[in-house]
Amino acid sequence: MLAKLRISKLVSYTLPRRVCERRFLVTSNAFPNSEESLVVDAAESPELPSWIKDFISNKPSSNSVSDDEDFVIPSLASWVESQKFSRSRGEVSSGNVAEKSPEDIDRVCEFLNKKDSSHEDVVKELSGCDVVVSESLVLQVLRRFSNGWNQAYGFFMWANSQTGYVHSSQAYNAMVDVLGKCRNFELMWRLVDEMKKTESGLVTLDTMSKVMRRLAKSGKYNEAVDAFLEMEKSYGVKADSFAMNSLMDALVKENSIEHAHEAFLKLFDTIKPDSRTFNILIHGFCKARKFDDARTMMELMKVAEFAPDVVTYTSFVEAYCREGDFRRVDEILEEMRESGIKPNVVTYTIVMHSLGKARQVAEALGVYEKMKEDECVPDAKFYSSLIHILSKTGRFKDAAEIFEDMTKQGVSRDVLVYNTMISAAVRHSQDEMALRLLKMMGEEEGGLCSPNVETYAPLLKMCCHKKKMKLLGVLLHHMVKNDVSIDVSTYILLIRGLCVSGKVEEACLFFEEAMRKGMVPRESTCKMLVDELEKKGMGEAKLKIQSLVQFSVMTKSHSPLPVM
């Protein structure tokens, strides 16, 4: 197949020059359409990467997939099998922990999947489990069940009762985080109190930061601030400026600059703010489009004898980018230069990304050039943005080329890069390539590339959309093997996607599973499912769903659970 390719010197390709120097344009008689051409590095790739070969051989023109036609890359399916538990790599940071036997996690899962109604039942169920508990096993189970606190907490309780095992502070913190994520704050606080009572007094700033962040994420801003104010007295965690920044950051990230500012004013006399404190607040005001307040805070920063730095200015750059006000962006960049501060890779990424979003692709790529002039080195996040922009503007081949090129430029790919490339491939109907990329992630060195829930989202969506039920099953299995727990947004995606495709039985299964995990269905989600069941004349299933919802409304109406 490759023999048929025609390779010609690249003349006027629109990519930045440096990338193009060693590149050639590859066209093929098989693909007379110029869209099907591909840029490759002929000097360094005598052998094209296999997925590019597949990409070329896979006719993208035949996109229409008939209903229920299914395919699974055989290698992916077998790879899922062979990957069973080979993920212990990089998961125990503290070393010295005995390598658990590969079957342990699987056996635990079997028990946990039997019961997910209450954590007491889970504890009872586990009495028949003869697995030897280790810290790494606990962390893995908590990761795998991070959206199902019943099972996670039941297992956590049971593990603590096992002889020869005591929970580490890391395990406690992970459990606190799961409870916070599932919004079971009552149990979360009980656990923090339990930590305090242990001999070594396990509550640290790490614990409290998780608590504050989860509270803020649920809109419980005042409770987050109170947690900070009580922290030193109740748990012996020092409330210094480092800890204060953690609180500020949680409040700002979860969209309440007001609470952050208020806390700042309240604490000003007792805790000395540092330059990060000011930057967090400036960022918060910028994010809320309160430019005057951001400026005032910058003045206050100077009064406190901290010079605004690249982070300070970048917050302004980002805010004006978001407004689409590139004239002001230039003004800020000019102001930076006058203050002797150079933009860095973060600043450039923001500008490039925003220009791309505003469909000013040429200008966006110009930023890449400018950046090189400034000898600013691109990093993985920068490449991820570049790949995203190119893909969004229809230049998928260029995006794929950048993806290929980055390791040669000495930048290793991270999860975000893979996630971006996978969703780009799905967007351009390169399903098989997307799956190969997922497979590649597991083989990437360094362990920084484990797929997360965002990795799977576009793939799952594609399965629902194209009614590929077999592949959907393989992917769900793949998620479990990689300790990725299905969260609320994934359930929504599955339920809606399956409903739209008329796979209503499957949609019901996910709906019921989500409800068992304590997620509360949104009115519109219920309606969609019920309407679809009605349409199909599935009266019994409809009644089941309706009574399930009714029951949940009756029992859980006062708790702020994750809404699906």
Partner DNA sequence: TTAGGGTTAG
Q: What does the binding site for DNA look like in residue numbers (CB under 7 A)?
A: 209, 245-246, 249, 252-253, 275-276, 279-280, 283, 309-311, 314-315, 318, 344-347, 349-350, 353, 379, 381-382, 384-385, 388, 415-416, 419-420, 423, 454, 457-458, 461, 489, 493
Helices (H), 198-290: 205-217, 221-235, 241-253, 257-267, 275-287
Q: Which is nearer to DNA, 100 or 388 (CB)?
A: 388
DSSP letter string, 433-448: HHHHHHHHHHH-TTST
> Cα dist. 550→130, 467, 557 in Å?
39, 30, 10
| Contacts (Cβ under 8 Å, ≥6 apart) of 213 | 180, 224, 250, 253, 254
CA distance 155 to 131: 12
Nearer to DNA, 516 or 522 (CB): 522
CA distance 194 to 169: 12
Please report how close the Cβ of residue 195 comes to DNA at its closest, in angstroms.
19
Q: Indicate the DSSP class of residue 7.
A: E
In the complex, least distance from residue 464 CB atom to DNA, rounded to whole angstroms? 10
Q: How far is the CB of 463 from DNA (least distance, A)?
A: 12
Q: Which is nearer to DNA, 257 or 541 (CB)?
A: 257
State the minimum distance, in angstroms, from the CB of residue 315 to DNA.
Answer: 5
Residue 328 C-beta: closest distance to DNA, Å: 17
CA 513/CA 288 separation, integer angstroms: 37
Query: 146 vs 279, which CB is nearer to DNA?
Result: 279
Q: What single-letter amino acid sits at 259? A: H
Nearer to DNA, 100 or 214 (CB): 214
Min separation Cβ 280 and DNA, Å:
5
The region, left, alpha or beta by phi > 0 then psi within -120 to 50, assigned to residue 310 is alpha
Residue whose CB is less far from DNA, 48 or 350: 350
Beta carbon nearer to DNA, 123 or 399: 399
Tell me the CA distances in angstroms from 255 to 246, 249, 258, 286, 365, one per residue in order.
14, 10, 9, 11, 31
Distance CA 497, CA 502 (A): 9
Distance CA 80, CA 147 (A): 22
Identify which of residues 141 and 416 has a Cβ nearer to DNA in the complex. Answer: 416
| Rounded Cα–Cα distance for residues 48 and 31 (Å) | 18
Closest CB to DNA among 109 and 345?
345
Strands across the sheet with 5-9, in order? 5-9, 23-28, 38-41
Nearer Cβ to DNA, position 162 or 489? 489
Rounded to a whole number, what is the distance in angstroms from the first to the last CA of the chain? Answer: 48
Strand partners, 563: 520
What is the closest distance, in whole angstroms, from the C-beta atom of residue 282 to DNA in the complex? Answer: 9
DSSP state of 522: P
Q: State the minimum distance, in angstroms, from the CB of residue 401 to DNA.
A: 19
CB contact burial 248-272 (16+ within 10 A = b; e otherwise): bbbbbbbbbbebbbebbeebeeebe
- In the bound state with DNA, the residue whose beta carbon lies nearer, of 56 and 225, is 225
In the complex, least distance from residue 62 CB atom to DNA, rounded to whole angstroms:
21
Q: From CA 319, how far away is CA 347, in angstroms rounded?
A: 11
Q: How far is the CB of 45 from DNA (least distance, A)?
A: 26
Min separation Cβ 426 and DNA, Å: 9
